[in-house]
Amino acid sequence: MSWSQLLLDSFCHWTGRELMERTGSAEAQAQALFAAPFVLVSHGTEEDPVLNYGNRMALELWEMTWEQLTRTPSRVTADPVNQAERERMLARAAARGFIDDYRGVRISNTGRRFLVEDAIVWNVVDAKNKKRGQAATFSRWSFLTP
C-alpha cells in the first residue's frame, strides 16, 4: 500500500471522516493529495523521525524541495525553544490517536517563522494497526515578523 493511502486511511480511522474526497485510483488519489489546497506533512518512526512526505503546499511553506524535505529530521521544523512543546504535542497525539487543536510556531528552511493554527495531528497506522509514523494537516497559518 502506498504512503498516500496510509495517510488517508489513518486519518479516516482516527477522525471518522475523510481528509479529501477519494475518487479514482490510488494513483489519482495520491496526485490529488499532493496538489490539495491544505498542508500535509508526515514523518516515520525512526528514533529521530525524518520527514517522509510533504505535499506541494508543505514544500512551499517550508521552502524545501522534495529531496531536502525527505532528509530533514522532523524536529528541525520547530525552533529549539519550541521543540519541547512540539514533543508534548506529538506524545499527546500518539497516546490518543489524533488531536485536532494544535497551535504552534514552525520554521521554514530559510528561517521564516510561521504560526500554525487548528492543525490535526494523527498516528499513521497500517492495516494491522501498527504505527508507521505521524502526520499533520492544516490550512491556517500566518507568517511572523522577525
Confidence of residue 86 (pLDDT cuts 50, 70, 90): confident
Q: Quick one: which of 83, 76, 84 has its CA closest to 43?
A: 76
Model pTM score:
0.94
**CATH superfamily placement of domain 3-143:** PAS domain (3.30.450.20)
Name the amino acid, one letter, at 78. A
- DSSP assignment of the chain, as one string? --HHHHHHHHHHHHHSS-SS---S-HHHHHHHHHT-SSEEEEE--SSS-BEEEE-HHHHHHHT--HHHHTTSBGGGGS-GGGHHHHHHHHHHHHHHSEEEEEEEEEE-TTS-EEEEEEEEEEEEE-TT--EEEEEEEESEEEEPP-
Residue reference for cell 490529488: 32
Q: Where are the domains of the chain?
A: 3-143
Q: Report d(CA 40, CA 128) in Å as an integer.
A: 23
Q: Within 13 Å, how many C-alpha atoms sit on residue 65's CB side? A: 2
Q: Is 80 exceeded by the pLDDT of residue 126?
A: yes
Backbone angles phi, psi at 16, to 5 degrees: 80, 10
pLDDT tens digits, residue range 13-32?
Answer: 999 999 999 999 999 999 99
Q: Which of 85-89, 91-95, 96-100 has the lowest mean pLDDT?
A: 85-89
Q: Is 80 exceeded by the pLDDT of residue 58?
A: yes
Per-residue confidence (pLDDT) for residue 83, from 0 to 100: 79
